[in-house]
A and B are shown apart, each in its own frame.
Chain A
């Protein structure tokens, strides 16, 4: 191991450090200076500091163009990790902006602090190829998310959801750690490429198979793929809306990226097809079926979004199955646009927080009570359903075509995915039917929503439309990042 100066380490981890420091700053400010101010002021100033930290990190990331790998891949910096980290910081800004008008907690500093720590954890997570660092940052992320889920202390549902999330999460972490230890035992290394190099030559031993299954279980939990999805509906429903938005968007991006890295870089590719191939194919098919079919019968909007997220996880696994640079690009495009549409949908729900909307039928007549938010919701849900020219359609097209061009044998899975997206249109239309077609039974007055909230949601909707009409905006960025990569 080469000796590396600490200054170099500091320089390379500066974006993560800025985000973490801004988290500490928010915490300190809120607990000292702002304690006597009103809740609204505390949220605003806290959000301002948090966003400033994220913007700073984004600037640092965009301004540097270098490739480095410290301590055998414990810290990896390249164009791809920079892209994902930038996106993660940007999503945190959106999630923070969506939380500004909330009143579910008085512990503003703690909430924003934990959000920023989670972001720092995600940024470390994507910037490493070392299994132990992956595990440690994944746990930091998970613990932050458990706390964020439980943040509404007045809601029993919030507590219940957090407990379920925590118990399942702890279990999944145990699986993951066990898998990692088996891999270490087999290969004598915890560095992804080294593992692949050592194990690639060996035949598939039962022990390796167990290790692969364990790791897929642990990471499958994080991306909410069936059958490891049981926490998702409860967490989406019970968590405070801004927390749910974070869990559903940026946590998804980071988890999928690391899932893809562990599988493609770390787990040995067999001679014909990767050894995890049929396992992931089965998980993908099951996720599509369970997610989309279960979403049909949901009466709660958030549970519906949760089950649809499970279905989408199935589509995204196709990008991993493609096992090619094209597939990785498609996966990144899909997960980013998916996260945009999802955070937008949660943003609309957050803006309507005071209406106490939970059931799909509560949305009846929304188009006349809040036309702007309804229109944005229309865009988000249609994007999720994959209607062109919205971003979700190109995500689907890109993932499916990359999977097919990598392997024509994936045709059955592509057919299943496209068939399931027909099913998904049904339940998205069910929500939109309430918003646009039905009339409200209780009240007819317009709903007052804060301007900032409408602006944020509108910005997200604009991005969804823009990325749909001009997919090249994001694609060229991803392509550039991929081209700069060695593989």
Chain B
């Protein structure tokens, strides 16, 4: 039944494209119903799931002469991310309630993107995985290029080319692995069992890992992320940061690390102090954490602050993956979920609640508006999102980053200290953004200005309130009772699929 998450999204998109002259209202409703249906299906899927198993959803021959199957299946990790996709998709539609320009096309592309993302998380055939992964690129391009803001065409093209370059690297890896394994199967479980030669894994692992990590925003390949996030329409940024970056991280785990675990072993020699790809990528992830946070600290544009914060938080995911321990990996998957929700919330505040009303995102221009008084709900949401984002206990970010830090402490003690610095800088930029954008610099003691111009902003709509409430509830629920997700994730990491990883460097 989980396969219907994909089909229903594509059907919704097709309906929007084919129906003649859909007005904005109808388009929104169709999109909302489709997104809710997808979410409902993934919730039912999670409820029916027995932790630790691999549920085969569909398995039929697709291209029998090449041994390629249409194979959809789900384990705990896929289900966690399906849930995330469902939540963000529903919230994204609610936060695009005000799209009036070419609405049918907007929601059709939106749903195609959602469908492709569901497809990636459910695919258990490498080629099918890749098909869905690339299918997600084109809607992203058009969503940003048509409905975006600042430098949209540049940002859209940059995003598309970065994504495509990443997926080209992955494609080389996919073809090489397929041929090396005898051109008989693309099944992920079969390939995970196949003993690739060590030297083969040594060059294919970094290729595929970096290919996926480009989409996960790994430093120094992250530059598409801030420009893309800033230029995208609100729902676009929510999806980009919320789920599309997770595609990259999921690919790193599911393909690069699961299929080529020995690529992370030591080289046997040291270059610039690095002894393995694992160490190198861990350091790059750490640079991403600290660099993203530091750059966010000095941004003038509110949306860029959130954009760079995404780079920083995704650094935690990659760092968690590189710890190669159960706690670090489960933290990484949890962080994927957590960041998806929190980034969605942050972009919703910045893009929809603030920018669509004030038509500016410059912190210096927002400062005199005292938004906390004009649109208190936005300020409230941002405070919650900010607290979740800096990892305050009680929110999902805390559990995830805490697990990752423990894992890092065991694997690379020195890096754990620096990651802590990253968290501190994270607190600083969140506070600075809150202070400048909403409190009007009240923290610095400036006199309260009750200018009349500040009071003309439209009220926060019901759709926005519901959307924000869904996201806040999700982050709080996972923060207060992380076992709802950890019970899905941890058994999945212990499944035979990850045997190669566990037998090697796992500790």
Contacts and interface: CB of A to CB of B under 8 A. Distances in A.
A455 interface: no
6 contacts: A387-B135, A388-B131, A418-B168, A422-B168, A436-B145, A471-B63
A418 B172 contact: yes
Interface stretch (B176-184, B237-245, B420-428): B176-184
B319 to A, nearest CB: 28
B236 to A, nearest CB: 14
Nearest to A468: B131
Given A397-B175, A401-B179, A475 B63 contact: yes
Contacts, number: 72
A475 B66 CA distance: 10
A389 B165 CA distance: 18
Interface stretch (A87-95, A251-259, A425-433): A425-433
Interface string B167-199: 010011001101100010000000000000000
A80 B184 CA distance: 24
Contacts of A479: 65
Main secondary structure of the interface of B (DSSP, over half): helix
Interface stretch (B153-161, B396-404, B490-498): B153-161
A389 B131 contact: yes
Interface in A386-412: 387-389, 393-394, 397-398, 400-401, 404-405, 408, 411
A397 B145 contact: no
B175 A401 contact: yes
A472 interface: yes
Given A401-B66, A437-B142, 4 more contacts: A401-B179, A414-B172, A433-B153, A433-B157
B131 A393 contact: yes
Contacts of A472: 62-65
Contacts of B145: 433, 436-437
B153 to A, nearest CB: 7
- Top 10 closest A-B pairs, CB basis? A388-B131, A404-B179, A405-B179, A437-B145, A418-B168, A422-B168, A401-B175, A425-B164, A422-B164, A422-B165
A35 interface: no
Contact of B153 (A401, A408, A426, A437): A437
A388 B183 contact: no
Chain A binding surface SS class: helix
Interface of B: 62-66, 127, 130-131, 134-135, 137-138, 141-142, 145-146, 153, 157, 160-161, 164-165, 168, 171-172, 175-176, 178-179, 183
A433 B155 CA distance: 13
Contacts of A429: 141, 157, 160
Contacts of A387: 134-135, 137-138
B48 to A, nearest CB: 29
B147 to A, nearest CB: 10
A79 to B, nearest CB: 16
Contact of A393 (B62, B134, B178): B134
B161 A426 contact: yes
Place the interface of chain A in its size category.
20 to 34
Task: From B66, B130, B160, name the one whose CB has the most chain A CB atoms within 10 angstroms.
Answer: B66
B251 to A, nearest CB: 15
A387 B140 CA distance: 13
A401 B183 contact: yes
B130 A405 contact: no
A393 B65 CA distance: 17
B171 A426 contact: no
A414 B175 contact: yes
A429 B164 CA distance: 12
B167 to A, nearest CB: 9
B176 A388 contact: no
Nearest to A424: B164
Contact of B176 (A394, A404, A471): A404
A397 B171 CA distance: 8
Nearest to A430: B157
Nearest to A378: B138
Given A387-B134, A475-B65, A401 B168 contact: no
Contacts of B171: 397, 400, 418
Contact of B65 (A421, A433, A437, A476): A476
A185 interface: no
Interface in A342-384: 382
Contacts of A421: 168
A437 B160 contact: no
A304 B62 CA distance: 34
A148 B168 CA distance: 39
A418 B142 CA distance: 23
A419 interface: yes
Contact of B135 (A388, A405, A426, A436): A388
Contacts of B157: 426, 429, 433
B505 to A, nearest CB: 28
A148 to B, nearest CB: 35
A465 to B, nearest CB: 12
Most buried by A among B137, B157, B160, B164: B164
Contacts of B137: 387
B176 A422 contact: no
Given A382-B138, A436-B146, A411 B168 contact: no
A421 B172 CA distance: 12
B161 A422 contact: yes
Contact of A389 (B65, B66, B135, B178): B135
Contact of B134 (A388, A411, A475): A388
Contacts of A415: 172
A272 to B, nearest CB: 20
Contacts of B130: 388
A247 B179 CA distance: 35
A397 B66 CA distance: 11
B161 A425 contact: yes
Contacts of A476: 65
A422 B138 CA distance: 13
Nearest to A329: B65
Given A422-B164, A429-B160, A404 B175 contact: yes
B134 A405 contact: no
A411 B176 contact: yes
Contacts of B134: 387-388, 393
B175 A400 contact: yes
Contacts of A389: 131, 135
A322 to B, nearest CB: 11
A290 to B, nearest CB: 19
Contacts of B175: 397, 400-401, 404, 414
A319 to B, nearest CB: 14
A421 B65 CA distance: 25
Nearest to A419: B168
A408 B62 CA distance: 26
B437 to A, nearest CB: 30
Contacts of B176: 404, 411
A397 B127 contact: yes
Contacts of B142: 436-437
Contacts of A401: 66, 175, 178-179, 183
A397 B172 CA distance: 10
B3 to A, nearest CB: 15
A425 B160 contact: yes
Nearest to A436: B142
Interface in A429-487: 429, 433, 436-437, 471-472, 475-476, 479
Contacts of A433: 145, 153, 157
Contacts of B178: 401
Contacts of A418: 168, 171-172
Contacts of A398: 66
Nearest to A476: B65
Contact of A405 (B65, B153, B183): B183
A471 B134 CA distance: 17
Contacts of A422: 161, 164-165, 168
